[in-house]
Amino acid sequence: MKNKLKMILLSGLILSLGACTNIQDTFTGTPTYTEIERSNFNVQEETQLFAMGSYKVNESGAAVAKMKAKGQAEIYLKKQIFNETTNVLNSFFNEVHTKNIVTSKNTVEDLANLVSSELTKDAITTNSWNDQGKEFVVLAVDKTKIPKKVKEIFVIHIQSIIDDLDGAITKVSNEYLEIAKPPVTVVEETPKIEKTEVKVDAVDEMKKTESKESIEPKDSIETSNSEKNSEPEVFLDDF
Protein backbone atom coordinates (compact mmCIF):
# COMPACT_ATOMS: atom_id res chain seq x y z
CA MET A 1 0.00 0.00 0.00
CA LYS A 2 2.86 2.36 0.88
CA ASN A 3 4.59 1.60 -2.43
CA LYS A 4 1.42 2.47 -4.33
CA LEU A 5 1.15 5.78 -2.49
CA LYS A 6 4.77 6.57 -3.30
CA MET A 7 4.16 5.83 -6.99
CA ILE A 8 1.09 8.09 -7.01
CA LEU A 9 2.99 10.94 -5.31
CA LEU A 10 5.94 10.52 -7.69
CA SER A 11 3.63 10.58 -10.71
CA GLY A 12 1.94 13.72 -9.42
CA LEU A 13 5.31 15.39 -8.92
CA ILE A 14 6.39 14.57 -12.46
CA LEU A 15 3.13 15.93 -13.87
CA SER A 16 3.52 19.12 -11.81
CA LEU A 17 7.04 19.68 -13.09
CA GLY A 18 5.87 19.13 -16.64
CA ALA A 19 3.03 21.62 -16.16
CA CYS A 20 5.43 24.22 -14.75
CA THR A 21 7.69 23.77 -17.76
CA ASN A 22 4.77 24.27 -20.14
CA ILE A 23 3.68 27.42 -18.26
CA GLN A 24 7.21 28.80 -18.42
CA ASP A 25 7.37 28.19 -22.16
CA THR A 26 4.02 29.93 -22.60
CA PHE A 27 5.12 33.09 -20.78
CA THR A 28 8.58 33.36 -22.36
CA GLY A 29 7.10 33.59 -25.86
CA THR A 30 10.44 32.60 -27.47
CA PRO A 31 10.23 29.00 -28.73
CA THR A 32 13.29 26.77 -28.87
CA TYR A 33 14.10 24.57 -31.86
CA THR A 34 15.88 21.26 -32.18
CA GLU A 35 18.92 20.77 -34.38
CA ILE A 36 16.83 18.84 -36.90
CA GLU A 37 14.35 21.70 -37.14
CA ARG A 38 17.12 24.26 -37.54
CA SER A 39 18.58 22.28 -40.42
CA ASN A 40 15.42 23.04 -42.43
CA PHE A 41 15.33 26.76 -41.63
CA ASN A 42 17.80 27.90 -44.29
CA VAL A 43 18.78 30.99 -42.29
CA GLN A 44 21.99 32.75 -41.23
CA GLU A 45 21.76 32.77 -37.47
CA GLU A 46 24.61 35.28 -37.11
CA THR A 47 22.97 37.93 -39.27
CA GLN A 48 19.24 37.13 -39.14
CA LEU A 49 16.42 36.95 -36.64
CA PHE A 50 14.12 34.04 -37.48
CA ALA A 51 11.06 32.18 -36.25
CA MET A 52 9.11 29.09 -37.25
CA GLY A 53 5.35 28.58 -37.17
CA SER A 54 3.39 25.38 -37.61
CA TYR A 55 -0.24 24.40 -37.96
CA LYS A 56 -1.99 21.07 -38.42
CA VAL A 57 -3.84 20.55 -41.70
CA ASN A 58 -7.55 20.09 -41.08
CA GLU A 59 -10.68 20.08 -43.19
CA SER A 60 -9.96 23.70 -44.23
CA GLY A 61 -7.02 22.49 -46.32
CA ALA A 62 -3.26 22.94 -46.56
CA ALA A 63 -3.44 26.56 -47.78
CA VAL A 64 -5.26 27.65 -44.62
CA ALA A 65 -2.85 25.68 -42.45
CA LYS A 66 0.12 27.36 -44.14
CA MET A 67 -1.47 30.80 -43.65
CA LYS A 68 -1.93 30.17 -39.92
CA ALA A 69 1.58 28.75 -39.61
CA LYS A 70 2.92 31.94 -41.17
CA GLY A 71 0.84 34.06 -38.78
CA GLN A 72 2.31 32.15 -35.83
CA ALA A 73 5.83 32.71 -37.15
CA GLU A 74 5.14 36.44 -37.48
CA ILE A 75 4.11 36.63 -33.82
CA TYR A 76 7.32 34.94 -32.66
CA LEU A 77 9.48 37.02 -34.98
CA LYS A 78 7.81 40.30 -33.96
CA LYS A 79 8.57 39.53 -30.30
CA GLN A 80 12.27 39.09 -31.08
CA ILE A 81 12.39 42.29 -33.12
CA PHE A 82 10.60 44.15 -30.32
CA ASN A 83 13.24 43.09 -27.78
CA GLU A 84 16.11 44.12 -30.05
CA THR A 85 14.40 47.40 -30.93
CA THR A 86 13.81 48.27 -27.27
CA ASN A 87 17.52 47.88 -26.54
CA VAL A 88 18.48 50.17 -29.44
CA LEU A 89 15.86 52.77 -28.50
CA ASN A 90 17.05 52.89 -24.90
CA SER A 91 20.59 53.59 -26.08
CA PHE A 92 19.32 56.38 -28.36
CA PHE A 93 17.16 57.95 -25.66
CA ASN A 94 20.10 57.94 -23.26
CA GLU A 95 21.56 60.66 -25.47
CA VAL A 96 18.38 62.68 -25.00
CA HIS A 97 18.28 62.16 -21.25
CA THR A 98 21.67 63.83 -20.89
CA LYS A 99 19.94 67.02 -22.11
CA ASN A 100 17.49 66.87 -19.17
CA ILE A 101 14.68 65.56 -21.35
CA VAL A 102 12.92 62.54 -19.85
CA THR A 103 11.08 59.97 -21.97
CA SER A 104 8.47 57.67 -20.45
CA LYS A 105 8.55 53.88 -20.70
CA ASN A 106 5.26 53.94 -22.61
CA THR A 107 6.84 56.04 -25.38
CA VAL A 108 9.69 53.54 -25.79
CA GLU A 109 7.22 50.65 -25.95
CA ASP A 110 5.02 52.43 -28.50
CA LEU A 111 7.97 53.21 -30.77
CA ALA A 112 9.32 49.66 -30.39
CA ASN A 113 5.92 48.27 -31.42
CA LEU A 114 5.90 50.57 -34.44
CA VAL A 115 9.36 49.45 -35.57
CA SER A 116 8.68 45.74 -35.00
CA SER A 117 5.37 45.92 -36.88
CA GLU A 118 6.98 47.53 -39.92
CA LEU A 119 9.98 45.18 -39.96
CA THR A 120 7.77 42.10 -39.58
CA LYS A 121 6.08 43.09 -42.84
CA ASP A 122 9.51 43.06 -44.53
CA ALA A 123 10.32 39.54 -43.29
CA ILE A 124 11.07 36.90 -45.94
CA THR A 125 10.05 33.24 -46.02
CA THR A 126 13.26 31.22 -45.95
CA ASN A 127 11.58 27.81 -46.07
CA SER A 128 8.23 26.02 -45.80
CA TRP A 129 7.34 22.33 -45.80
CA ASN A 130 4.74 19.72 -44.84
CA ASP A 131 5.52 16.96 -42.38
CA GLN A 132 3.14 14.45 -40.80
CA GLY A 133 0.04 16.46 -41.66
CA LYS A 134 1.42 19.81 -40.46
CA GLU A 135 2.51 22.88 -42.38
CA PHE A 136 5.74 24.62 -41.34
CA VAL A 137 6.82 28.16 -42.29
CA VAL A 138 10.06 29.95 -41.39
CA LEU A 139 10.39 33.75 -41.53
CA ALA A 140 13.59 35.78 -41.15
CA VAL A 141 14.70 39.41 -41.13
CA ASP A 142 18.15 40.95 -41.46
CA LYS A 143 19.47 42.15 -38.09
CA THR A 144 21.14 45.19 -39.67
CA LYS A 145 17.72 46.56 -40.62
CA ILE A 146 16.76 47.02 -36.97
CA PRO A 147 19.10 49.90 -35.99
CA LYS A 148 18.44 51.63 -39.33
CA LYS A 149 14.67 51.48 -38.84
CA VAL A 150 14.96 52.54 -35.20
CA LYS A 151 17.09 55.54 -36.20
CA GLU A 152 14.46 56.57 -38.76
CA ILE A 153 11.58 56.38 -36.28
CA PHE A 154 13.63 57.96 -33.49
CA VAL A 155 14.65 60.97 -35.59
CA ILE A 156 11.05 61.56 -36.71
CA HIS A 157 9.87 61.42 -33.09
CA ILE A 158 12.53 63.83 -31.80
CA GLN A 159 12.00 66.19 -34.74
CA SER A 160 8.29 66.44 -33.93
CA ILE A 161 9.20 67.43 -30.36
CA ILE A 162 11.62 70.05 -31.67
CA ASP A 163 8.95 71.45 -34.00
CA ASP A 164 6.50 71.76 -31.10
CA LEU A 165 9.11 73.57 -28.99
CA ASP A 166 9.98 75.92 -31.87
CA GLY A 167 6.28 76.71 -32.25
CA ALA A 168 6.00 77.49 -28.55
CA ILE A 169 9.09 79.74 -28.68
CA THR A 170 7.77 81.63 -31.71
CA LYS A 171 4.35 82.15 -30.14
CA VAL A 172 5.78 83.41 -26.85
CA SER A 173 8.22 85.71 -28.68
CA ASN A 174 5.49 87.32 -30.79
CA GLU A 175 2.53 87.24 -28.42
CA TYR A 176 4.17 87.40 -25.01
CA LEU A 177 2.10 90.43 -23.92
CA GLU A 178 -1.16 88.67 -24.70
CA ILE A 179 -0.03 85.41 -23.13
CA ALA A 180 1.27 87.18 -20.02
CA LYS A 181 -2.12 88.76 -19.25
CA PRO A 182 -3.78 87.07 -16.29
CA PRO A 183 -7.07 85.42 -17.06
CA VAL A 184 -10.13 87.56 -16.38
CA THR A 185 -12.49 86.05 -13.87
CA VAL A 186 -16.12 86.74 -14.66
CA VAL A 187 -18.37 87.14 -11.63
CA GLU A 188 -21.87 85.98 -12.31
CA GLU A 189 -24.62 88.26 -10.98
CA THR A 190 -27.24 86.76 -8.76
CA PRO A 191 -30.58 86.95 -10.57
CA LYS A 192 -33.13 89.25 -8.92
CA ILE A 193 -36.25 87.64 -7.60
CA GLU A 194 -39.34 89.52 -8.78
CA LYS A 195 -42.16 89.99 -6.33
CA THR A 196 -45.41 88.46 -7.44
CA GLU A 197 -48.74 89.87 -6.42
CA VAL A 198 -51.13 87.46 -4.86
CA LYS A 199 -54.71 87.83 -5.89
CA VAL A 200 -57.29 87.58 -3.14
CA ASP A 201 -60.33 85.63 -4.18
CA ALA A 202 -63.91 86.18 -3.08
CA VAL A 203 -63.69 83.73 -0.21
CA ASP A 204 -60.81 85.64 1.34
CA GLU A 205 -62.79 88.87 1.02
CA MET A 206 -65.74 87.30 2.86
CA LYS A 207 -63.45 86.11 5.61
CA LYS A 208 -62.04 89.62 6.01
CA THR A 209 -65.58 91.09 6.23
CA GLU A 210 -66.62 88.64 8.91
CA SER A 211 -63.52 89.34 10.92
CA LYS A 212 -64.25 93.08 10.84
CA GLU A 213 -67.79 92.56 12.10
CA SER A 214 -66.55 90.35 14.91
CA ILE A 215 -64.38 93.14 16.31
CA GLU A 216 -67.17 95.79 16.47
CA PRO A 217 -68.10 96.91 20.10
CA LYS A 218 -70.82 94.87 21.83
CA ASP A 219 -72.50 97.96 23.34
CA SER A 220 -73.59 99.22 19.99
CA ILE A 221 -75.02 95.83 19.13
CA GLU A 222 -76.96 95.57 22.41
CA THR A 223 -78.29 99.12 22.02
CA SER A 224 -79.64 98.43 18.61
CA ASN A 225 -81.29 95.21 19.81
CA SER A 226 -82.89 96.93 22.84
CA GLU A 227 -84.27 99.65 20.62
CA LYS A 228 -85.90 97.07 18.44
CA ASN A 229 -87.44 95.15 21.35
CA SER A 230 -88.59 98.22 23.45
CA GLU A 231 -92.40 98.91 23.67
CA PRO A 232 -93.92 102.44 23.52
CA GLU A 233 -94.52 104.19 26.89
CA VAL A 234 -98.17 104.69 28.20
CA PHE A 235 -99.21 107.85 30.15
CA LEU A 236 -102.33 108.10 32.58
CA ASP A 237 -103.35 111.41 31.15
CA ASP A 238 -104.35 109.75 28.00
CA PHE A 239 -107.27 107.90 29.61
| Residue 236 belongs to some domain of the structure | no
Residue 112 and residue 89 in contact, taking contact as beta carbons nearer than 8 Å? yes
Cα distance between residue 144 and residue 84, in whole Å = 11
Q: Which residue has the higher pLDDT, 178 or 16?
A: 178
Give the percent of the chain with pLDDT over 90: 50
| Residue 64 belongs to some domain of the structure | yes
What are the pLDDT digits (tens) for 141-179? 999 999 999 999 999 999 998 999 999 999 999 988 888
Strand blocks (E) in 34-133:
48-56, 124-131
- Which domain, by its residues, includes 155? 28-176
| Residue 146 belongs to some domain of the structure | yes
| Residue 114 belongs to some domain of the structure | yes
What are the pLDDT digits (tens) for 190-215? 666 655 554 545 556 666 665 655 55
| Residue 151 belongs to some domain of the structure | yes
Nearest CA-CA partner of 65 in 73, 53, 75, 57? 57
What CATH number does residue 55 fall under?
A: 3.10.129
Give the percent of the chain with pLDDT over 70: 64
Residue 2 is predicted with a pLDDT of: 45
pTM: 0.62
| Residue 172 belongs to some domain of the structure | yes
| Residue 113 belongs to some domain of the structure | yes
**What's the structural domain count of the chain?**
1
CB 98: neighbour CB atoms within 10 A?
Answer: 8
| Rounded mean pLDDT, 70-85 | 96
Average pLDDT over the chain, rounded to an integer: 77
